[in-house]
Amino acid sequence: MSTQPVRVVRHPDGVVELRLEDPGRSNALDLPTAEALRDATAEVAADPGGGVLLRAAGANFCVGGDLRAFAGRGEETSAYVHAVATAAHAAVLALYGLPVPVVTAVRGAAAGGGIGLALVGDIVLAARSARFRLAYTAMGLTPDCGATWLLPRLVGPRLATDLVLTNRVLTGDDAERFGLVSRTVEDDEVDEAAYRTSAELAGGAGEALRAAKRLLRDGAGAGLSRHLAEEARLIAGLAGSGEAQARMTSFLAPRVRAGVGGGASTPSSPESVS
């Protein structure tokens, strides 16, 4: 078992795994852990491979800030919590800014800052038994790690306000129904499903995936006319690339072969992906 609270694992298939590895503390964020997370995400950002997988060891994904580390510091408390938040926020920004797809696997509890870490992924898989709870206001605190930025964009302002103010608990199935996560899987399948998804993305059309992700992100703040122009520019540029040409040729080949000497006819109209 690694003695580091956060570890980067690079797999031969192009998946770069960012793993929280302090299960005895439910991967809670004290200052050393937050700084280790900041440093690990910076390492991943420098070389993200073809796709990034964020997951955690143990029964819980991340329970947020370590209240035991926050309490009893007297006048030093504010400075300590600010340092933890600043380091954790650097990690959230690094993950959000990655050009490659990010898949998150959530099991057990995701609470406090763990919510922001979980939701920053592009595709979020959750175990059915997972539990999501903001919990900040119950402790007399306000959310951090991007929760108040991410939640309204994912679930809308009404539900986001409800979750932040009441600290209600969502199950994995609740989270899927409300759009908090991409999908739920059985508890014993979440790691395998998340890794398989990451590997498929890492082995996919890398340039197209990066460009598509950029369009999705940029589109949230751009007008339709400008965004349509950017879509046209990107699809035209990619269509002439060697990778796209090879993939289109491979896609069309079985259809062409089926129309030669067989019962099927050659398609009379061009194949389309739309």
DSSP H or E segment with residue 66: none
The pLDDT of residue 91: 95
Give the number of residues written for the chain. Answer: 274
* Model confidence pLDDT, tens digit, residues 224-260: 677 777 778 778 777 777 887 887 788 788 765 665 5
Positive/negative CA dihedral, 235, 237, 239, 243: negative
The pLDDT of residue 259: 59
* Model confidence pLDDT, tens digit, residues 13-46: 999 999 999 999 999 999 999 999 999 999 999 9
User: Residue 49: phi, psi to the nearest 5?
Assistant: 65, -145
Residue 266 has pLDDT above 60, yes or no: no
Class of CATH domain 6-202: alpha beta
The pLDDT of residue 71: 85
- The C-alpha atoms of residue 37 and residue 54 are separated, in whole angstroms, by 11
Q: Which residues, including other chains, have CB under 8 Å from residue 111's CB and lie 6 or more apart? A: 62, 63, 64, 131, 132, 133, 134, 135
Return mean pLDDT, the chain. Answer: 89
| Reported confidence tier of residue 126, pLDDT bands at 50, 70, 90 | very high
**What is the pTM (predicted TM-score) of this model?**
0.85
Residue 83 in contact with residue 107, Cβ under 8 Å?
A: no
The pLDDT of residue 2: 55
State mean pLDDT over 1-10: 86
Residue 262 has pLDDT above 50, yes or no: no
Q: Where are the domains of the chain?
A: 6-202, 206-258
The percentage of the chain sitting over the pLDDT mark of 90, rounded to a whole number, equals: 72
> Quick check: helix, strand or coil at residue 62?
strand
Residue 270 has pLDDT above 50, yes or no: no
- The C-alpha atoms of residue 241 and residue 204 are separated, in whole angstroms, by 15
More confident residue, 245 or 79: 79
* Model confidence pLDDT, tens digit, residues 196-211: 999 999 999 999 999 9
Q: Which residues, including other chains, have CB under 8 Å from residue 255's CB and lie 6 or more apart? A: 266, 267, 271
